Amino acid sequence: MPQSLSLVYVHIVFGTKCRKHWPALNEKHLPRVNAFIAGVFRNHGCVPLAVNGYANHVHPLINQARTVALSKVVGEAKAASSKWIRSEFEGCKDFQWQCGYAAFSVSPRHIVEAKRYVANQEARHKTLPFEDELTQLLRASGILYDERFLWD
């Protein structure tokens, strides 16, 4: 084939260091944080379909570029947004994301549902802690994990 073609949707989840709640991730500032993170993905050739979070974590949903490794673009999104959050928001001088992330492939048939899932973070977390949400996603996806190394 003379060209490279791909359509890879990925739902990514990463939390703050020690799952700490930060003022930058409150409902007042979160739209700016989401837009910044979306911009980092866009700058690496990925198409952000939805980015949303709540208090101590974020869920980017992207169409991954075929020219960049997922680990690289997620690392760039976390590094750039950490630096920006530390400089942009009062009370966030020590802001950090956790070291790792989770990534889930999404079928094109389920992309509308995935967008709805990402958009619904605030309502979901009125009753469900982030820790429970992530472990439910991991179990539902069949991803094996060791709870000792899940959180930092």
Q: What is the CA radius of gyration of the chain?
A: 15
Share of the chain above pLDDT 90, in %: 89
DSSP-assigned letters across all residues of 131-148: HHHHHHHHHHHT----GG
Domains, the chain, in order of start with CATH, read 9-149 (3.30.70.1290)
Residue bearing tokens 């570029």: 65
CA-wise closest residue to 28 among 114, 94, 122, 96? 122
What gap in Å lies between CA 13 and CA 22, rounded to an integer? 17
pLDDT digits (tens, 9 = 90+) for 63-102: 999 999 999 999 999 999 999 999 999 999 999 999 999 9
